Structure 1
Amino acid sequence: MKFTDGYWQLRPGVQVLHPVEVDDVRADPEAGTLTVWAATKHVRGRGDTLNQPLVTLTYSSPAEGVVKVRVEHWAGARRRHPEFAVRGSDVAVTTQVDDEQAVLTSGNLSVRVHRTGPWRVDFESRGKVLTSSLPKGAGVATTPEGTFVHEQLALGVGEKVYGMGERFGPFVRNGQTVDIWNADGGTSSEQAYKNVPFYVTSAGYGVFVAHPELVSFEVASEMVERTQFSVAGEHLEYYVIDGPTPKDVLERYTALTGRPPQVPAWSYGLWLTTSFTTSYDEQTVTSFVDGMAERDIPLSVFHFDCFWMREYQWCDFEWDPRTFPDPEGMLARYKDKGLRICVWINSYIGQKSPLFAEAAEKGYLLRTTDGGVWQWDLWQAGMGLVDFTNPAAAEWYASKLEALLDMGVDCFKTDFGERIPTEGVVWHDGSDPQKMRNYYTHLYNRTVFDLLAAKRGEGEAVLFARSATAGGQQFPVHWGGDNDSTFVSMAETLRGGLSLAMSGFGYWSHDIGGFEGDPDPAVFKRWLAFGLLSSHSRLHGSGSVRVPWAFDDEAVDVTRRFTRLKLSLLPYLGAAARDVVRHGTPVMRPMVLELPDDRGGWDVDTQYLLGPSLLVAPVFSADGDVDVYVPEGTWTSLLDGSTVTGPRWVRQRHGFDSLPLLVRPDTVLPIGAEDGTTDYDWADGVTLHLVELADGHDEVLVVPAADAGVGADDAEFHVRRTGDEVVVTTTSARAWALRLGDRTVRFEPGTTEGRIGSTDLAR
């Protein structure tokens, strides 16, 4: 939201109170807080203290390397909920106050309030200023639309801003106005399904604005030297999060708001769906499943979209008996084929559903201010909205899903959750409707995920969710929403995923081939490589199916090639997923996240790192021409063994069965012995590819155990290179192999040491 009219003037009807000078400072060492009262005009005598407001700024720290800031005008306003849950930890905070400055320090991060001269607050780490609140930075604005509190944090020369949720426009936020307001707007507009009031910058810090309601960002737009954020009301709370790298920022941020958990091994395989409005029954679904098997394409999950239920009755959680007369038997038949089952749901109850009257009578649906049930006809006729602020409603909703789990369903696609009314409604627990707009999806997905975790066990719960806000990363997986079947939409889909990755979300997927429209075979085949080199992979469309033989024979070959490639990469992807769980580092990593010191990659939004060592550059053209930015060093194609040296941009041409898939130099890449299933011991028979290892390379590589019933322990391999020889030691009792260039040497189970190099091999 903009408050100014250019640099010198305010917009008509706007008045802003800015901190001008420090009136008083109080440190509370026991509470670990620093409170500053700031006058909003220069005080030259006692008379100047009359009829003038103060702005109160309180600094504290919930965790090491994090500073919380509260900017407040009037403190007497009723506290509104919900609020984001922020998880603190034990932290040693120091405060220092003298005539010149007041400083609060947490870890390497300090906030320094200057008590003399123009208003200035610096956030510093490791001897440098990360960002500052300068004159006219903080402010309380009175406008025709109401009262707002804003902050402006300074940007340095060349500093880039990233994140704020899954946004489909330019990856770098500079120059943009971003409103944190969940909406069902597709992937080609400024609206977003997943809005997160958090950003990270190339300067090595992040900012989390802890407000579930509308947060309006002006990123180097209203003030090109600053990032501004504002909220309605009398106070603003935000957290400055130290780095020094973007990964460090994400680690601290996800420690505050919740880390993504481990997801089941089977979820990494290929998902296939009925598509949305296509006509299907068990015979149709079986033809899809058997068609994949006949073409030697491994399939992990089958998803039933909306019309598994009767029209107008979404959601009644009952199979349409006209098309699925024997759902229990059908699911058992698919389970016998080794498939997991996902079904579509949302949080709306259509008026025709038998559940509507029950939910309305028991108070489980969102109410209007006059006591009635809030309804509209958009999406489902006369639908109501399940009120998850009512614990009984959440339990009731979960009970309907539990019956499906007992029937054989494994997971749920939690669609929608964005179009939440903010006017004329009353929530069961008194939640503020403005705050519930974004927060609703958190309660919705949490209800479903917690049920899955309770019924299926730790590590087996997984969703396919569309909407989210801060903290939603705890309920994976999320997919990119309704895109178009074009190369342009494919690129904007990737930008959304990269942006979400910079917002703390560890796993992400999208509709391969695009959702809307019928993709040209070239679009579908190019998208296959991208989709199957994402953390999660789903074939899904709207009015047309996405089975590969619906396009051409080559599409079948491409699907098979990249599905099997992904399954062979599970030892590597499983290790990358450990970084999600332990550190909040996403599986799919923007260049700036994985290689923050390479300024050439800061703006790149057409490629990414899959895990730490595989550079993926999707091809966005039918002819196969692709520009790829190659960072420093010699990178090796995983597909054909060719090499390319950076840093530089390179143009390549690839067939439909290829794309730039480059292995980072100085990498030990584990490749699994299986490529037809997710359900194998990832460490048994693993081949360690030794790629451009530097002399002196020394690492312990962990190949995680799959969690899909294998029951094996992790395997550790200590890899060292000295001169021309590589020595690997392990305590694993499994078979394993070393590959250097085109040479592969295999070792029997129980072999504890292997060597490869100019001295050949020895045990």
Structure 2
Amino acid sequence: MKFRDGMWLVAEGMRVEYAEDIHAITPTPSGNGGLSLLCPTKHIRSRGDTLNLSTLTIDIEPEFDGVLSVEVTHWSGSVRRGPHFDLYPHGKPSPANSIAPQAISKSASGTSLSSGSLTATIHPDPHTFDIRFHASDGSKHLTSLLSRSVGLAYSPAPSNPQQLGDMRDFKHYVFTQTQLAVGESVHGLGERFGAFNKVGQSIQLWNADGGTSSDQAYKNVSFWLSSRGYGVFIDHPELVDLEVGSERCCRVQTSVAGQRLKWYIIYGPTPKEVLQKYAVLTGRPARVPAWSFGLWLTTSFTTNYDEATVSGFLEGMKSRGIGVDVFHYDCFWMKAFTWTDFVFDPLKFPDPKASIARLKEARLCNKVCVWINPYIAQHGAAFHEAAAKGYLLRRKNGDVWQWDMWQAGMGLVDFTNPAACAWYTGCLNKLFDVGVDALKTDFGERVPPALPNHTTDTDVVWFDSTVDPAKMHNFYSFLYNKVVYEALEKRYGPGEAVLFARSACAGTQRFPLQWGGDCESTPEAMAESVRGGLSLGLSGFGFWSVDIGGFEGSPPPWIYKRWVAFGLLCSHSRLHGSNSYRVPWAIDDNDESEEGCSKVLAKWTLLKNRLMPYIYSQAMKTTETGVPLSLRAVCLEFPDDPTAWYLDRQFMLGESLMVAPVFEESGEVEFYLPKGTWTSFWDSSSTRVGPGWFKEKHGFGTLPLYVRENTILLLGCEELAKESGAVYDYATDLDVQAYHCVPGQAKATLYNSDGKHVVDFEVGEDGQVEGVHLLKGTTNIVGEHRIEAQP
């Protein structure tokens, strides 16, 4: 939202007032060791200037090392309605003042408040509005709140201040503008499919079912990461408007409707450290089971299928040497007009429990997933019970809130009602009894108010009367996925629960995993998906997938095969489409050649399964730190390389593998390698030295996949991976590959598929890999050599 018309004019219909002075600095009322700034909206030169004007209060408080909260308030008497983000889910660290006992200090530079490594300094002149955020040791300036950077606004503009005695006809906003440095880039804000660097964009954080080719997003996350080594988490689940260098080119403007705006500034100094501290605030991704990293195959969306179709798909995959770890039944496992009633269509699946058991016993798949959502159609068996017992959202007149979008007469499960949560969990337990192991939690975006400009006077009443419907719109995805995830976890145990979720907000990363939504079957959409996955990873989400081949349309064989290569190097990999199947033989008329879809899919699936010892070890780090497994932006590993902050067509799989998807039918691809020696995964004798851009041409069985120097790469046994998919004994017949390792620095950890630690590897002074004696079977050690440590 823009409040000004260029540099000089106020936007039409707006009244804007800015904090001009910092009139008084006192301790914050909370007693948490912070500073409260009283900021009038004009310069106070005499006592008379204190009358008939508004003030803004800015409370700055230390949270924990490297993190300060900043809250701007106009009228403090406004009710703090929920819902609120579930902060510090793993516990709050020790107070920052215990790290820096002299948290508040005064000098010629002004008044300073430190929170460990991060300090805010307030200019000593009360008529100079200037708050600077910098490293406590003085090594780095991060950002500032400067003149006319904090304010309030009314729309429409009142012509008489007495009109504001009745606020029902006015909207009230609070905003801040943090300074953007020369060359600074901004990333994150959820799964966004547009330009990777958000500078120059106007962004609304409002969940919407908008596909992957617009400025709308399924997953709006109120956190952004700066290339200058800090991040900002905006503590508001409601609509947040950002002008990222788009109202003022040198500022990031954040605004909300209401009387308060609160955000946290997080200092790394590295982007990995920023994400780790952000994960302390909002939560780390939970551990997901090893089987979830294998290939998922679905029925696709509106395709016609029954029990015979499912068996035929899986038998066809097995006969072609393609291991399927998870089979997913999409929407039409239920009858039309009944979604979601949790009942298998009796004509298509007369005995689902026996059917699923047969699939598993025949080892056609390891696990089964079904599609659900929180929208309950009135023609399904679940609706009448849910409506009668008050489990569905209601209108103000007492009616169940219904509409005909998606499902005829559908209602919305009210997850603010504990009884509704228990009922929904009971429905899920019946699916688990049938043999369902995972759930695709689709939708959750079309929650009233449906449109961002309709956030006031919404005709709905939630069971929890303390919540604000405008705040429930985005936050609903957190409650929905939390209920489902906890039901899975309770049934199957910690580390065995996994979702396939579409909607999200801050904190939903605790309930993995998420996928990228409805993309088209085009190379442009594949590139959009890469940008979306990168942005979500920089928003604290550790695990991510995409509809391989594209969801909308029917991919030509070359796009399918290029997408297979990309999709099998995401953290999770699923074949899924809309109105056409994604089994490979349906794409290219069963081309059985080495370049056919079936052989290409078999090769990449086997590679993913062989990489599991490496992938699973990296996944364990993700659950400990909040740093994404894949897609991991290159800037997380190489933050000092300016080019890395602009790479949006390639990514890291963990910390050691660089992946560059191919978007051209010809196989031509251009990619960048940062400083260091990089070795082709396909040919250990082929190395490239970065930094630099490179061009290559690849067939469908390869893409630019480079191993970072100083890496010990763990590859599982080919026979075990071929036979068992993603789950096997990773410690048996392991390939240990060392790439240009520095003794004492090159390390790797092996976990088995049950999450138990097996061994830590390290390259010793003699260039040998230590720890291999603890492995079983025949260990193949490749590339034992060393390089000298670089300056």
TM-score bracket, shorter-length normalisation: over 0.9
Q: Which residue of 2 aligns with 1:416?
A: 443
Look up the match of 2:134.
124
For the residue of structure 2 that corresponds to 1:485, the secondary structure is coil
Deviation at residue 27 of structure 1 after TM alignment: 2.4
Is 1:92 aligned with 2:96? yes
Root-mean-square deviation over aligned CA pairs: 1.6
Q: Is the 8 A contact 1:705 1:715 kept in 2?
A: no
Equivalent residues of 2:489, 2:496 under 8 A apart: yes
Structure 1 window deviating more from structure 2 (23-32 vs 176-185): it is 23-32
1:96 positional shift: 2.4
Q: Post-superposition shift, 1:734?
A: 2.8
> What secondary structure sits across from 1:406 in the alignment?
helix
Counterpart residue number, 1:142: 154
Quote the offset at 1:89 in angstroms.
2.3
Aligned counterpart in structure 2 of residue 257 of structure 1, from 265, 282, 304: 282
Q: Does structure 2 retain, via aligned residues, the 8 Å contact 1:490–1:514?
A: yes
Task: Choose which of 703, 718, 722 in structure 1 pairs with 2:750.
Answer: 703
Local SS of the residue matching 1:602: helix
Question: Shift of the alpha carbon at 1:100?
Answer: 5.9
Q: How far does the alpha carbon of each residue in 1:192-247 deviate from its partner, in whole angstroms, 9 at most, with x for none?
A: 00000110010000001100000001001111001111000111000000110111
Give yes or no for contact 1:721–1:727 (8 Å, CA) kept in 2. no
Q: Which amino acid aligns with 1:616?
A: V
User: Where does residue 107 of structure 1 map in the other structure?
Assistant: 116
CA contact (8 A) 1:296 1:560 kept: yes
Whether the 8 Å CA contact 1:727–1:756 is kept in 2: the answer is no
Q: SS of 1:293's equivalent?
A: helix
In structure 2, what is the Cα distance between the partners aligned to 1:640 and 1:282?
A: 44
Specify the code of the residue in structure 2 equivalent to 1:714.
Answer: V
Helix, strand or coil at the partner of 2:256? strand
Which secondary structure does the structure 2 equivalent of 1:277 belong to? coil
**Separation in 1, partners of 2:78, 2:690:** 57
User: Amino acid of the residue matched to residue 297 of structure 2?
Assistant: L
Correspondence for 2:77: 76
Q: 1:97, CA displacement in angstroms? A: 4.6
Counterparts of 2:772 and 2:55 in 1: how far apart (Å)?
65
List alignment gaps of at least 5 residues for structure 1: 742-754, 759-763
User: What is the 5 A alignment of 1:183-198?
Assistant: 183-198=208-223
Partner of 1:273: 298
Residue 561 of structure 1, aligned match among 586, 600, 603: 603
What is the one-letter code of the residue matched to 2:740?
Answer: E
Q: One-letter code of the match for 2:751?
A: P
Contact 2:85 2:235 in 1 (8 A): yes
* Equivalent residue runs for 1:518-533 within 5 Å: 518-533=554-569
Which has more strand, going by share of residues?
1
- The Cα shift of 1:720 comes to 2.2
In the alignment of these two chains, the number of paired residues is 739
Could you tell me whether the CA contact under 8 Å between 2:741 and 2:786 is conserved in 1?
no
Corresponding residue number in structure 1 for 2:23: 23
TM-score, length-scaled by structure 1: 0.95
Q: Secondary structure at the match of 1:425?
A: coil
Q: Which residue type is aligned with residue 375 of structure 1?
A: Q
Counterpart selection for 2:183 from 158, 178, 183: 158
Q: Is the 2:63–2:96 contact (alpha carbons within 8 Å) kept by the matching residues of 1?
A: no
Question: Pick from 560, 563, 587: which aligns with 1:551?
Answer: 587
Equivalent position SS for 2:504: coil
User: CA contact under 8 A between 2:289 and 2:498: conserved in structure 1?
Assistant: yes
Identity of aligned residues (%): 49
Q: Aligned letter for 1:485?
A: S
SS of the aligned residue for 1:67 comes to strand
AA matched with 1:544: S
Query: After the TM superposition, which residues 493-532 of structure 1 pair with which residues of structure 2 at under 5 Å, given as runs?
Result: 493-532=529-568
- Structure 1 stretches of at least 4 aligned residues deviating more than 4 Å after TM superposition: 97-100, 755-758
Q: Which of 216, 219, 241 is matched with 1:216 structurally?
A: 241
Kindly report which structure 2 residues correspond to 1:63-462, keeping only aligned pairs within 5 A, or say none.
63-87=64-88, 88-93=92-97, 94-97=103-106, 101-116=110-125, 117-125=127-135, 126-127=137-138, 128-144=140-156, 146-338=171-363, 339-422=366-449, 423-430=458-465, 431-462=467-498
Instruction: Tell me which amino acid in the other structure corresponds to 2:224.
Output: Y
- Describe the SS at the equivalent of 2:779: strand
> Could you tell me how far apart the structure 2 residues matched to 1:721 and 1:538 are?
43
Note if contact 1:180-1:197 (Cα within 8 Å) is conserved in structure 2: yes
Q: Report deviation, 1:65.
A: 1.0
Distance 1:58 1:97 in 2: 17
Cα distance in 2 for residues equivalent to 1:43 and 1:733: 74
Q: Judge conservation of contact 2:562–2:663 (CA < 8 Å) in 1.
A: yes
Aligned equivalent of 1:667: 711
Aligned residue in 1 for 2:454 = none
Deviation at 1:98, TM superposition (A): 6.4
Tell me which of 612, 620, 633 is aligned to 2:663: 620
CA distance in 2 between counterparts of 1:260 and 1:26 reads 39
Q: Indicate conservation of the 8 Å contact 2:710/2:746, yes or no.
A: no
**3-state SS of paired residue (2:141):** strand
Q: Unmatched 5+ residue regions in structure 2?
A: 98-102, 157-169, 450-457
Q: Give the counterpart letter for 1:184 in structure 2.
A: D
Q: After superposition, what is the alpha-carbon deviation per residue over 1:331-365, rounded to whole angstroms, capped at 9, x for unaligned?
A: 11012133200000000110101221111111100
**CA-to-partner distance for each residue in 1:641-663, whole Å, 9 max, x for gaps?**
32222211111110011100000
SS of 2:512 mapped into structure 1:
coil
- Residue by residue, what CA displacement relative to the aligned partner does 1:537-589 show, whole Å, maximum 9, x if unpaired? 00000111000111233111110111000111111111111121111010021
Q: How far, CA to CA, are the matches of 2:419 and 2:576 in structure 1? A: 34
* Contact 1:120/1:132, CA 8 A, preserved across alignment: yes
Change (3 A) 1:98 1:74: farther
Secondary structure of the equivalent of 1:227?
A: strand
CA distance in 1, matches of 2:296, 2:510: 21
Q: Is the 8 A contact 1:218 1:227 kept in 2?
A: yes
3-state SS in 2 of match to 1:577: helix
Name the CA distance, whole Å, in 1 between partners of 2:474 and 2:506: 9
Change (3 A) 1:17 1:443: same
User: Which amino acid is 2:663 matched to?
Assistant: F
The residue matched to 1:275 in structure 2 has which SS?
coil
Partner secondary structure for residue 61 of structure 1 = strand
Summarize the Cα distance change of 1:207–1:561 in structure 2 as closer, same or farther, 3 Å threshold.
Answer: same
In 1, the alpha carbon distance for the partners of 2:765 and 2:677 equals 17
